[in-house]
C-alpha cells in the first residue's frame, strides 16, 4: 500500500539525515595524525578511522608488504645499534641533537631512545600531507611508491642521498620530510598525540603555525614541525624538525642557534654530514655543538678531531678508519688513523663507508670541569697522554683549495653540499 505523502517525506528526510551522519562520521576531520602515520607506514589505522577504507586498496597492500620486509631487515641491523647504545651511551641527557640529519629519526631513536626532546635539522622542506581520502587510487599509488623510493638510500646505505631527496621530497601532494618522519615514528612503535607546524623568531622562540603555506612560518628562515609522541605506555616525547641553513650567518639569523642554546646539555649525533663541519663557513654550528653537547657520537664526517681538546673531552674509537670515500679525500685525518689503531669493534655499518667492517664511530664525552687544585692535578695526570687521543684546536686540518669545489660538484649525491 502506498505511504501517505507526509510519511514518504519523513522517510526521505530520515534517510538523508542518516546518510549525512554517516558521511560526517567518516569525514576527514576524523583522521588523526597517528592514523595517517600508520597508513603511510603500511600499518592499519584504527578501525573507526576514515582512512581504514584505503587499506583495501591493492596499492596500499603491496606497500604494506614491502615495508614489512624492509623493516624486518632493518630491525636486525638496528638491534645492534640499540645494543651499542645500551653498552656505551650510558650517560644520556634529555635533549638529543641530530643536525645535518634530514628526516632520519630512525637512527636518532635507535641510539638515544629515551630523550625527552629530539631536534633534527636539514635543508629538506617540512612539507605537508593532505587528506588522503581525497586522493584518487592512482594518486595514492604514486605517493606510496614515491615514499618508498625517497627512503631507499637510508635502508640500503644508512644515509639519505641528496639527489633523491631533492626529487622525491619536493613533488606531489604528499611531500617533504613529514611523511618520512611519520613512517619512522609508526614503524618504531610510537603513537603520535599532537602535531603543530612551527617557526622560530630571531630570539629562538617557537611560534605555532596553523598553515605553513599561508602563515608567516612559510617565510621563516627556520620553518619546522613539532610532534609530540610516546612509546607504548612511556612518557610523552617531543620531536622537532627544522628546515634551515646551518652555514654561518643563516644559522644565527634564523633563530635556530638561539633555540638550540636554550636546550641545555645534549647528546649529539653526526653522520654522513658531507664533512661540512670541517669547513670554515660552519664554524658557528661546530662551536655550538662543542659547547652544548655533553656527548657527541659521530663518524669522521663530523667535527674534526683537532677541535676536541684533550682536557675537555674523553674519546673512544669504534670500528675502522679507512679515511673518507674518494669524493671527500681531502678530509683525511692522519691522527684519526692513529687513534683508531686501538679501536673497539662495532657490529653494524654506518655512514658513507656503510659496510660493517669499514665503518667508524667516535664517541666523545665531555669531562666535568675540575673544581679543586687536587682534582685539577689528577685530571692533568689522567690526560698526560691526551695528545694521542685528541688534538689541540690550534692545529687544524688544511685542505687544497680545489678539494671543496670538486667535492661539491660530485656531491649532488650526498647531503648538504654548499
Segment 167-191 shows an average pLDDT of 84
Predicted local confidence at residue 149, as pLDDT = 80
Q: DSSP label at 4? A: P
Is pLDDT of 398 > 90?
Answer: no
Question: Could you report the per-residue pLDDT of 144-167, keeping only the tens digit for each?
Answer: 888 888 776 556 544 444 555 455
Between CA 330 and CA 398 the distance in angstroms is 8
Among all chains, which residue has been given the C-alpha cell 623568531? 201
DSSP one-letter string for 331-381 = G--HHHHHHGGGPBP-SS--SSS-SGGG-EEEEEEEPPPP-SHHHHHHHHH
Say which residue, 169 or 312, is predicted with more confidence.
312
Three-state DSSP state, 258: helix
Is pLDDT of 272 > 70?
Answer: yes
Segment 184-197 shows an average pLDDT of 96
Predicted local confidence at residue 169, as pLDDT = 56
* Sign of CA pseudo-dihedral 352, 412, 174, 227: positive
DSSP one-letter string for 277-288 = GGSGGGHHHHHH
Predicted local confidence at residue 258, as pLDDT = 97
Predicted local confidence at residue 107, as pLDDT = 93
Between CA 227 and CA 237 the distance in angstroms is 8
Between CA 254 and CA 195 the distance in angstroms is 22
Q: Which of 162, 127, 124, 98 is nearest to 243 (CA)?
A: 124
Cα 202–chain centre separation: 23
Amino acid at each position: 500500500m502506498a505511504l501517505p505523502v507526509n510519511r514518504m517525506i519523513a522517510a526521505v528526510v530520515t534517510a538523508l539525515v542518516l546518510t549525512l551522519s554517516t558521511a560526517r562520521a567518516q569525514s576527514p576531520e576524523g583522521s588523526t595524525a597517528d592514523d595517517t602515520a600508520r597508513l603511510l607506514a603500511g600499518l592499519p589505522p584504527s578501525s573507526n578511522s576514515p582512512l581504514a577504507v584505503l587499506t583495501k586498496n591493492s596499492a596500499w597492500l603491496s606497500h604494506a608488504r614491502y615495508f614489512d620486509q624492509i623493516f624486518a631487515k632493518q630491525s636486525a641491523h638496528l638491534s645492534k645499534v640499540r645494543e651499542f647504545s645500551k653498552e656505551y651511551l650510558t650517560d644520556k641527557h634529555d635533549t638529543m641533537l641530530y643536525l645535518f640529519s634530514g628526516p632520519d629519526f630512525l637512527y636518532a631513536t635507535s641510539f638515544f631512545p629515551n630523550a625527552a626532546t629530539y631536534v633534527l635539522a636539514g635543508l629538506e622542506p617540512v612539507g605537508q600531507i593532505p587528506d588522503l581520502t581525497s586522493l584518487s587510487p592512482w594518486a595514492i599509488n604514486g605517493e606510496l611508491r614515491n615514499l618508498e623510493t625517497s627512503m631507499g638510500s637510508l635502508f640500503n646505505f644508512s644515509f639519505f642521498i641528496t639527489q633523491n631527496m631533492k626529487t622525491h621530497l619536493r613533488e606531489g601532494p604528499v611531500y617533504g620530510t613529514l611523511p618520512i618522519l611519520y613512517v619512522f615514528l609508526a614503524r618504531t612503535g610510537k603513537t603520535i598525540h599532537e602535531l603543530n607546524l612551527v617557526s622560530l623568531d630571531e630570539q629562538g622562540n617557537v611560534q605555532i603555525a596553523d598553515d605553513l603555506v599561508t602563515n608567516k612560518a612559510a617565510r621563516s628562515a627556520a620553518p619546522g614541525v613539532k610532534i609530540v609522541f610516546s612509546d607504548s605506555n612511556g612518557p610523552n616525547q617531543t620531536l622537532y624538525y627544522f628546515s634551515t641553513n646551518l652555514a654561518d650567518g643563516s644559522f644565527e639569523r634564523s633563530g635556530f642557534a638561539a633555540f638550540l642554546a636554550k636546550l641545555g646539555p645534549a647528546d649529539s649525533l653526526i653522520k654522513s654530514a658531507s664533512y661540512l663541519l670541517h669547513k670554515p663557513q660552519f664554524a658557528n654550528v661546530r662551536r655550538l655543538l662543542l659547547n652544548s653537547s655533553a656527548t657527541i657520537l659521530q663518524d669522521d664526517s663530523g667535527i674534526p678531531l683537532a677541535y676536541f681538546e684533550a682536557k675537555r673531552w674523553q674519546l673512544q674509537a669504534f670500528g675502522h678508519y679507512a679515511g673518507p670515500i674518494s669524493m671527500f679525500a681531502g678530509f683525511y685525518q692522519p691522527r684519526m688513523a692513529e687513534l683508531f689503531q686501538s679501536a673497539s669493534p662495532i657490529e653494524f655499518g654506518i655512514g658513507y663507508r656503510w659496510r660493517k667492517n669499514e665503518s667508524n664511530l667516535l664517541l666523545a664525552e665531555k669531562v666535568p670541569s675540575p673544581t679543586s687544585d687536587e682534582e685539577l692535578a689528577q685530571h692533568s695526570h689522567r690526560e698526560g697522554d691526551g695528545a694521542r687521543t685528541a688534538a689541540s684546536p690550534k692545529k687544524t686540518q688544511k685542505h687544497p683549495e680545489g678539494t671543496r669545489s670538486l667535492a661539491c660538484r660530485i656531491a649532488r649525491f650526498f647531503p648538504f653540499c654548499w
